[in-house]
Homo-oligomer: A and B are copies of this chain.
Amino acid sequence: MSTTGLPFDDIRDLIARMPGPDDAAVGAAREREAQLTKPAGSLGRLEELSQWLAAWQGGVPHVDRPLVAVFAGNHGVTAKGVSPFPPEVTAQMVENFAAGGAAINQICAAYDLGLKVYDLALELPTGDITEEPAMDERTCAGTMAFGMEVLMDSPDLLCIGEMGIGNTTIAAAIFAALFGGEGAAWAGAGTGLDAEGLSRKAAVIDQALATHKDHLDDPLEVLRRLGGREVAAMAGAILGARHQRVPVIVDGFVATAAAAILHALDKRALDHCLFGHVSAEQGHLRALEAMGKVPLLALGMRLGEGTGAALAAGIVRAAARCHRDMATFAQAAVSNRDPM
Contacts and interface: CB of A to CB of B under 8 A. Distances in A.
Interface of A: 36-46, 84-86, 88-89, 92-93, 95-96, 99-103, 105-107, 109-111, 190-192, 280, 296-303, 307, 311, 314-315, 317-318, 321-322, 324-327, 331-337
Given A37-B101, A102-B326, A335-B92, A42 B191 contact: yes
A322 B92 contact: no
B44 A302 contact: yes
B92 A333 contact: yes
A187 B334 CA distance: 25
A98 B109 CA distance: 29
Contacts of A280: 44
A280 B39 CA distance: 13
Given A39-B192, A101-B37, A106-B325, A301 B46 contact: yes
Contacts of A314: 110-111, 314-315, 318
A280 to B, nearest CB: 6
Given A44-B280, A299-B315, A317-B110, A322 B103 contact: yes
A42 B305 CA distance: 11
A111 B318 contact: yes
A191 to B, nearest CB: 4
A37 B99 CA distance: 12
A322 B106 contact: yes
Given A111-B314, A300-B45, A326 B103 contact: yes
A87 B300 CA distance: 41
A288 B102 CA distance: 34
Contact of A318 (B190, B302, B311): B311
A104 to B, nearest CB: 9
B192 A92 contact: no
Given A92-B334, A314-B314, A333-B92, A192 B327 contact: no
A85 to B, nearest CB: 5
A92 B332 contact: yes
12 contacts: A40-B192, A43-B103, A44-B301, A45-B301, A46-B299, A85-B336, A88-B335, A101-B332, A106-B325, A111-B318, A298-B298, A314-B318
B37 A322 contact: no
B300 A44 contact: yes
Nearest to A296: B299
A110 B103 CA distance: 21
A19 to B, nearest CB: 28
Contact of A42 (B84, B303, B324): B303
Contact of A331 (B101, B192, B336): B101
A101 B38 CA distance: 10
Contacts of A334: 89, 92-93, 96
A112 to B, nearest CB: 9
Contacts of A331: 101
